[in-house]
Amino acid sequence: MRRLVIALLALVAVACGGAAQTAQSPSATSKVTMATDTDLTNVMIGQERFVIDHDIAQNVYSGLVRLRPGSNKVSPDLATSWTVSGDGLKYTFKLRKNVKFSGGFGPFTAADVVASFDYERDPKSATAYNAQFSLVKSVTAADPYTVVIELNQPYSSFLSGVLAWQSGLITSAKAIREKGADYLATHPVGTGPYHLSSYEKGQQITLTASKEYYAGEPAIKQVVYRYIPEAATAVLALQKGEVDVEQIQQAAAYRTVKALPSDKVKLYEGPGWRNYYAWLQCGNGRVTNDPRVRQALERAVDLKQVAQGPGAGMITVNHSYFNPTVLGWTNDLPTYGHDPAKAKSLLAEAGYKDPGQLHIKLIYYKSSLYEPLALAVTDAWRSIGITVDVTQIDQAAFGDEMAKGDWDAAIWGHAVGDPDLYAYNDTHSSGIGTTNYSRWNNSQADTLIEKGRTEQDTTARIATYKKLQALVAKDVPTIVLGNAKSIIAARPGIKGLYAPGYFGLIEWQYVKG
């Protein structure tokens, strides 16, 4: 019995000792711990699998150009200046000198740009960005510090949509040659502000500030991404001080952190890249082919209530199918406001005197807010008498279901950082059967989209995109349920922290500490 008591006391003592060690230093931050709900899988350029892979890639690599947080204007990164030919087909980049790769892989030169983009363009590499590089005709090194990229057709989003995002990240030619993509998957070689200094699978990933970073060693010297798969545990970890920063994605977590005192938690919120949609099927002979039916479906939904209720305050009302951070976004659009009576009369016009005769098949998969949104939309439609058949589909199988188009309504999000990626992929007729899930076919829209992706003048582009957004709002190939707020919860005192557009992707070089 005595031995048992001594053992218990020893256990408590060890526990107390352990607890003391995890106490955080309150002075100027040089180390930050962030919770992540995905574990590092592959950080080779073009091979990033999950959100954390993108987050890390953005911190260890650089591109020719970049988009600084909160801006949709392209700024220099590894390219110090560039010119575009009059016909929009030839881009000439002057490269930054005295930039070094990590891991002793030597100085950065044009050959590395060529090798990286050749890797992306080669179908055998099977990268996610291969399709985006299909409009690139050639990538050549004119001299060690000049790269010339020629396109097959003019593309105004080449800088902002392809080169400034993860598709444009650059790694060392020598590393690709000597180590291969499989090795680089967990040992990235980059010129970014951080190095991946350690990776303990299932536990944590550590980034260490690069002393050779061309813009100067960042203020935050060490970033630890702690793998916490359960959102509830992540919130507890924040409360306990075991993590400093985390992205809030679930309603329960949001409610909890909002209720915490401001000396414990600081919330950063802003527009995110992801919009939530109820895509409506405009092809495949479905009932939603009729625009009156689509307008009725939108009128039946109270979007303000959806943002607060099922959206749990994590959604902002957004009428545009673009997200608010992209060039040309506007909220000044014609909409079909909440009007159940008008919805019913539209249905009657369309031949459904009894709304119950209208059968809507709705599909969704369970992730983020898709389920509460699916249920809210279903409720709204059922409340005016429409017959709705809701089906939850497994996440991995959802893409195929979307592409097949055997549905009337589908709840899904889309998160990209460039207007053309919404315009061309979601609503151009060439995307029918692949990314244009609603199979919307509108020649006016096609013309605007093609104009928007070839116009060089920014003001003209913005005007074109405004017209396009208005067209989409009018014809309702999709009901925009709102924009997902980017929400970051952190302990107070981390200067320069912000809510990033892409999920939890904080570029730590901009955080002052």
The residues that touch another protein, with contacts defined as CB under 8 A, are 11-12, 14-15, 18-19, 22, 39, 41-42, 44, 47, 49, 123-128, 130-132, 134, 181-182, 185-186, 200-204, 226-230, 232-233, 236-237, 239-240, 242, 394-397, 399-400, 402-403, 425, 434-435
Q: How many residues does the chain have?
A: 513
| Phi, psi angle pair for 307, to nearest 5° | -65, -35
Among candidates 81, 167, 70, which has minimal Cα distance to 125? Answer: 167
SS3 34: strand
Q: Could you tell me how many helices (H) and strands (E) the chain has, helices first?
A: 15, 19
C-alpha 424/C-alpha 87 separation (Å) is 21
Residue 44: both structure tokens together: 């080779």
Angle between helices 458-475 and 419-427 (to 10 degrees): 40
Extended strands (E) in 422-477: none
Provide the minimum distance between the beta carbon of 244 and another protein in the complex, in angstroms, as a whole number. 13
- Residues 194/206, Cβ–Cβ less than 8 Å: no
Which CB sits closer to another protein, 185 or 479?
A: 185
Provide the minimum distance between the beta carbon of 312 and another protein in the complex, in angstroms, as a whole number. 20
Provide the minimum distance between the beta carbon of 95 and another protein in the complex, in angstroms, as a whole number. 28
Which CB sits closer to another protein, 401 or 507?
A: 401
Which CB sits closer to another protein, 87 or 182?
A: 182
Which CB sits closer to another protein, 172 or 204?
A: 204
Provide the minimum distance between the beta carbon of 326 and another protein in the complex, in angstroms, as a whole number. 18
Provide the minimum distance between the beta carbon of 132 and another protein in the complex, in angstroms, as a whole number. 8
What are the helix (H) ranges across 320-362? 340-349
Which CB sits closer to another protein, 381 or 424?
A: 424
Which CB sits closer to another protein, 351 or 433?
A: 433
Provide the minimum distance between the beta carbon of 405 and another protein in the complex, in angstroms, as a whole number. 12
Going 76 to 81 to 84 to 89, the CA torsion angle's sign is negative
Among candidates 139, 158, 159, 157, which has minimal Cα distance to 149? Answer: 139
Instruction: List the beta bridge partners of residue 488.
Output: 247, 268
Provide the minimum distance between the beta carbon of 252 and another protein in the complex, in angstroms, as a whole number. 12
C-alpha 277/C-alpha 415 separation (Å) is 11
Which CB sits closer to another protein, 200 or 389?
A: 200
Instruction: List the beta bridge partners of residue 387.
Output: 359
